[in-house]
A and B are shown apart, each in its own frame.
Chain A
Amino acid sequence: MEDTINFNLPKQTHDIFAVMARGNFISSNGSKDGMNRLYDVINNPDNFDRLQAYFNVIRYNIERGNNFFYFSKLGEPNSELEKKLERFERYIDIIDLFASMDNKIGIGSRFRPGEISEECNANVRLKQKLQKIPLYRSETLHNKVREICDLMSRDSFLELEDEKSESYKVLDSYSYLLDVINSVAIYEDTSLGGGDDTQGLVYN
């Protein structure tokens, strides 16, 4: 608290840290827990410089995305980065599924898991894509979609806007996923297996 005073930091600093230190994002279109207010606080140029200076001391760096903020850690070990990448890989299939929907899910979209599972049920291609997504053991498609939504909410890419109707909103941080996907290059590994079709991913 004393530090907060010395740095002349906004009073929401603690809340900001609590969100971002968990690896979550603060998006401008998030409404839960005053997320949009936190975004406005960070987005204020005076605040931003102060917060950046403050967090740098504890080796965190505020990264600015398109209408969202997150922490990166200064001097993060490679093993951590690898873990992050592994964690990210499961999103490739999810984003692929979302992008293949008739009503493409993008930033600001509002949807219910039921809508996605219904569409997947009606479309074999989508169904296969959904079934292909690993890490989930749910038996029904609906539950699987719910789990995906739950995961994405936990990672602050989605927000459960209305619990009653189970309506989710896609947050601005979703563009982080898209940006990462876009910076993935597919290469063919010819050095191994002599002409094998092995493909790999490169993160730019």
Chain B
Amino acid sequence: MEDNCRILNRIVEINIANVKYTDLELSGNTCFVGTNNFGKTSLQRAILFFYSANSRGLGIAPSQKPFDEHYFRNENSYLIYEIRTEDKPFFVIVYRHNKLVFRFVDAEYSPDYFFNENDEALKMKDIVAGFDKRGIYISNQIDTFERYRNVLYGTETDKQLSKFYLLKGNEKYQNIPKSITNVFLSSKSSIDSRFIKDFIANSLTTENSSIKLEQVERQLRQFNEKYSDIETYLKKETQQLIEFIDKKYDQVHMLKGAQMEMADKLGSSLRYAETQNETIIKASREKEEEIEKLAEGNEEQKTHLEEKQKDIREEIGYYDKSIREANKKLKEYKDKNIDQAVEKNAEREKLLVDLNIARREYESLTSNVQSIEMKYSSLIEQLRNDKTAYVNKINSRTSEIFNHYNELQLLQKNEFNKKDAELKQKREEALTDLNAEVTSKQIEFNELKAEEKVIRNTRFYENEIKAQETELADLRAINYKNKSERAIKTNLVQTNQKEWENLEQKLKTASAHQIQKTNNEIIRVKNEIKAIEEKLNVQHDALYGYLEKNVKDWHTTIGKVVNEDLLFRTDLDPKIIADKAFSLYGVTLKLDDVQVVSKTIEEYQFEKNERNAIIRDLEESLNQFQTSNNEEKMLAADKFGKQLGELKEDLKVLNYSLELADKREKKLILEIEDWKQRASTEIEQSLSGNKQKINIIEEELAILNKKKNNLLNDFNTQFDKLKIFNDERLADLKGRQETEISELEVEKKNQVKEYEEKETQLSSEKESNFKEKGVDNKEIKRIDSRIKELQDALKEIEQYSQVVNDYLKDKRDIFDKLPDFIQKKEEYVKTANDLSTELEEIARKYNIKRMELNKQKRAFDEELIEFNNGINYFTKNFRETPVYNKYVDIIERAEPKKTNYSVMDLCTQLLKNDSHFNEEYGAFQRYVNEFAGKFRLENHFNFVIRNDASQGEYERFAQNLRSFINEAKIELSIAETATQIGLVTDSIATKVKELSGQKDKIQHIITLIAEDFKKAEFEESKLIEFIKIRLEDSENKVYKLLKRIQEFREENGLVYNEGLFNTDFATHKNKEISNRAVKLLEQLRNAIKEQEQEEIRLQDLFELRFNIKEGMNETGWTHKIDSIGSTGTDILVKAIIYITLLHVFIKESSHRSSTDFKVHCIIDEVGQISAHYLRELLRFAKNRNIMMINGLPNKSGLEAHYKYTYQFRREENNNVRIFPSIVTEVEA
């Protein structure tokens, strides 16, 4: 048997480390004897490398040279392992070709293959060539340790290599090299359950199968931080702060905007003032010149018209005088009854003819009595002449008196006229001065009146009012447009919000549905797994287990006909009856074509794994679904959030614009009112000046009129006095004249009466004489009276002839032209009136124009003063302030433009507003600081503001916060965090499950070990009564929490929490689950922190306890055995445990059919063990097909128990020589 099994038969070292060549047989228990540092351990490592093929798992300290460098120093360094098989041995060559590689050779080892005739080791290519030459199969170079192990442990599929195996391992064959390695590496340690745990765990797991707590802690921290950030964000106080920030930001923004606008206006006004200074001065000067020119032109025109007016007045005077004189003469003529006189004068010629006829008649009648006639005619004539002479004399005297008095009267009249003229002249002179003054005042008065009219008609600040009215109209139009835009956008916001909500609801429903579906499916699959597990658990005690143990190939017989449920019943009590071994209750069946219904354990295991994989897939797909669901949510949030954000921002802008526009509108209305008020005030002011002047002039005029009236009254009194004196004087003269003339007339009358009496007497005498002579006296008398009448009539006519002649002359020269004079006068008067009107009009126009120009000039002057004042104010009171520095860019870069505001007002307002702005900004900053201070320094929302942050940074902070709200980023963050808690718990659960999945294996191994311990009866020596081992639950706090999380996860499925935060849609149940999850994670985090463990490995999943009884000593159930007995006993117990472990692992990891192989157990120092114990130990190992390789420091007799003993010696050249020691083997 021993010869037919597979075993590492030989190890050959060619140029390995300090060994030039050594060839050691190892096919039995082997012992290396040598003092320290002679290479015992190195050789043991080389043997271990054969099993493990892992250069890093050989217990070489990091400070030492790595395995390949230390062992394979030369090109021709070879490590050769020969394996004995059932028939022909083969060997493996390990060499260094950049890295360590392997070749299998289908032949027994022979040094000839590796050395030349000079005993020099060949190079690999020569060796390969040698094999080829000899026709020995040598495999291709095997580059990986993994492939080498596959070949060695019989899992290689390559047919050429598949025969080079040591044993046929199953899928767990990796445990064998791991176990051998672990025994070797932990052989120096004391007996502690931890080492056993490590041993078992390390044998079962790979390096990666542990839960890295750093990673978990990181995940937990990330979750916790996010959770805490969100919690902080959702707090009432935080929300309140957000509102404050939002509000304050708007205010600050608005104020800043207004300030900037004002700064721009200030800049524009300043630039304008600077650029306009010269222009305005020039314009003002031009206006002045224009006014002067206007005055000159007006004066010229006025003078011209006044001269014309003077000429016309002279003409009017002339005609007036002529008309007045004509009327006077006419009146005088009328007083003299000129019409009657003219009429009578027209009869003169006829009267002269009648007189001549009467005289001739008279002469014919008196021709007979001519002498008498003559006598009496001469007498009468004489008398008449006397009478005439007397009358003439009296008349002459009367005339003389009359003339004298007339002359006196005339003198008086002249005197009066002279004095009257003098007075009149005086009066005229006085009146002329007064009138001139009155006229000038009147003109002034008229001018003022015209000016008042102009002022009343003038629209002050018309341009400003018009500009503001236009602005108001524009503003209202924009407002209207903005309002409709706002309505549209509000609608859009509502629509988008609704759409978003619908989509969210849809996604939520889909998610809930999917979770429900997946959970149901998982529950179903879990039930199936449970059923399989139940079968697997009971299979040992059921019919299945019985068949496995006792009936070879039962699957192909019973397995085809048995009911599956029957297989797993434990109450069937199966027994084998030899003669019916291959029949069914005595009936044989031909089952070749019948399908096998039973399943192997592996198949059940496979099914279980498959279902676990299904669960994993389901969870994975749910995860994916959730991820895509979240992604969709995020996309929706991104899409709608952005849109809504933009819309809301637009709305805010619109609202802000409308608010501003409203304010502006109100302001404009007020300003227009103000301008109008100013205009009316301006009118009133202008009028008040004007009115004052008018009043003064009116008063002056009144005074002048009074003065004039007084003057006139004075002169009238003088005139009256003069007239009265004149009239009295004239009356006196006339009275005296009349008295004297009447005296003369009485005298004349008396005398004429005498003469007439005498004449009558003479006429009577004559008549008596004629009578006596017979003459018709009566006829002569009639004719005579007729002549007398005619003569009287002619006389009377002759008396007025001069007046009539004068009259006729005047009539011809004057009276007939009077209508022409009147008409001409009227024409001149009209022309004069026209000229006056024209003059007035010119004066009015001039005044208006002058006022307009004055106003313009005044405006320029005022503007100039205002500009200069503004610039001065700016320089003195503004430029040095921080406000200027703040807006210097805007102010200095502004375009020159006229604004409605003065520089001074703008400066004052900017300063005033800045203080208000600073107050508001301070509050805004405080809110931002307080808000940011609520969050961690490195919060995932990035709500961080530096203490020395600029205004821009604070504003950006507020903008980002606003976007955050508008885009509902908190929802995303909540969703992410909810997903994260799901992922974290899931990841933890998966890791725990993965790791604790191996706990079953441990349980299985422990059971096997316990059973193996039971078999280890040390009957002969009675040294060790028993070694018991049992498995207990882990005491590791972190693992316990991890386990609770896994259980929580199993219980609640994937925790996609909607109740993670106190949001509206969190149900009570959800909230409770979430709170539990959060709490668990927090506990875990704290535990990780407290425990300071880097990872949770398989060994942390359970506790091992031993109970060992040695002689009378029983340790009791303990996880650490400090000392059972003597050191030798301890080493023995330890070695027994290791060998048991190794045995169990080899059994578990090799194919059932593969039993004909042996492996080595390398335990270095066994020097302190007694010979008796050693023999027990070797026997214990031998019973388990394990060969021992041990190290001894020196020869002590113990080596006698080993088949091979090798000694180590260091030679002079520092090389180590290993040679067999001659001992007599004591049978183990």
Contact = CB atoms under 8 A, between A and B. Distances in A.
Interface in A143-176: 161-162, 167, 169-172
A17 interface: no
Contacts of A169: 933, 937
Contact of A29 (B928, B934, B946): B934
Interface of A: 28-29, 31, 36, 67, 102-111, 115, 161-162, 167, 169-172
Given A28-B237, A104-B922, A109-B947, A161 B929 contact: no
25 contacts: A28-B237, A29-B930, A29-B933, A29-B934, A36-B228, A67-B237, A102-B948, A103-B948, A103-B949, A104-B922, A104-B926, A106-B926, A106-B929, A107-B926, A107-B929, A107-B930, A108-B931, A108-B933, A109-B933, A109-B947, A111-B947, A162-B937, A170-B929, A170-B933, A171-B933
Given A104-B925, A107-B929, A115 B934 contact: no
B929 A109 contact: yes
A163 to B, nearest CB: 12
A107 B228 CA distance: 20
Nearest to A112: B947
Given A36-B232, A67-B237, A162-B937, A108 B948 contact: no
A17 to B, nearest CB: 21
B483 to A, nearest CB: 39
A105 B922 CA distance: 11
A31 B934 CA distance: 9
B936 interface: yes
A161 B237 contact: no
B946 to A, nearest CB: 7
A interface: dominant SS: loop
A118 to B, nearest CB: 10
B929 A108 contact: yes
Given A36-B232, A104-B922, A31 B929 contact: no
Contacts of B945: 110
Contacts of A36: 228, 232
A111 B928 CA distance: 15
Interface residues of B, number: 22
Nearest to A67: B237
Given A28-B237, A29-B933, A170-B933, A110 B946 contact: yes
A172 B237 CA distance: 12
B937 A167 contact: yes
The 6 closest A-B pairs by CB, nearest first: A108-B933, A108-B930, A108-B929, A111-B947, A107-B930, A29-B934
A170 B928 CA distance: 13
Nearest to B922: A104
A28 B235 CA distance: 10
B930 A106 contact: yes
A110 B933 contact: yes
A38 to B, nearest CB: 14
Contacts of B932: 108, 110
A115 B931 contact: no
Nearest to B926: A106
Contacts of B936: 31
Interface string B776-794: 0000000000000000000
A79 to B, nearest CB: 36
Given A103-B947, A107-B926, 18 more contacts: A28-B237, A29-B930, A29-B934, A36-B232, A102-B948, A104-B925, A106-B929, A107-B929, A107-B930, A108-B930, A109-B947, A110-B937, A111-B947, A115-B947, A115-B948, A169-B933, A170-B929, A170-B933
Contacts of A31: 936
Contacts of B934: 28-29, 108
A108 B947 CA distance: 9
Interface in B915-954: 922, 925-926, 928-934, 936-937, 944-949
Contacts of A107: 926, 929-930, 933
A109 B934 CA distance: 10
Interface string B207-246: 0000000000000000000001000100101000000000
Contacts of B930: 29, 106-108, 172
Contacts, number: 55
Contacts of A170: 929, 933
A88 B947 CA distance: 25
A165 to B, nearest CB: 9
Contacts of B949: 103
A162 B949 CA distance: 19
A45 B1043 CA distance: 35
A47 to B, nearest CB: 16
A103 B921 CA distance: 12
A115 B946 CA distance: 11
Given A29-B933, A162-B937, A170-B933, A110 B947 contact: yes
For B228, B235, B928, B947, the residue with the greatest tally of chain A CB atoms inside 10 Å of its CB is: B947
Contacts of A103: 947-949
Interface string B942-981: 0011111100000000000000000000000000000000
Nearest to B937: A161
B947 A105 contact: yes
A188 B431 CA distance: 84
For A67, A107, A109, A169, the residue with the greatest tally of chain B CB atoms inside 10 Å of its CB is: A109
B304 to A, nearest CB: 79
A170 B931 CA distance: 12
Contacts of A28: 235, 237, 934
A108 B237 CA distance: 13
A156 B948 CA distance: 23
A47 B464 CA distance: 68
For A28, A29, A67, A162, the residue with the greatest tally of chain B CB atoms inside 10 Å of its CB is: A29
A156 B931 CA distance: 19
B872 to A, nearest CB: 31
Nearest to B935: A29
Interface string B173-204: 00000000000000000000000000000000
B886 to A, nearest CB: 14
A161 B925 CA distance: 20
Nearest to A108: B933
Contacts of B944: 110
A32 to B, nearest CB: 11
A171 B922 CA distance: 18
Interface in B695-732: none
A29 B948 CA distance: 20
Contacts of B925: 104, 106
A110 to B, nearest CB: 6
B478 to A, nearest CB: 40
Nearest to A105: B947
Nearest to B932: A108
Nearest to A111: B947
Nearest to B235: A28
Contacts of A104: 922, 925-926
A36 B234 CA distance: 14
A197 to B, nearest CB: 30
A107 B932 CA distance: 10
Contacts of A67: 237
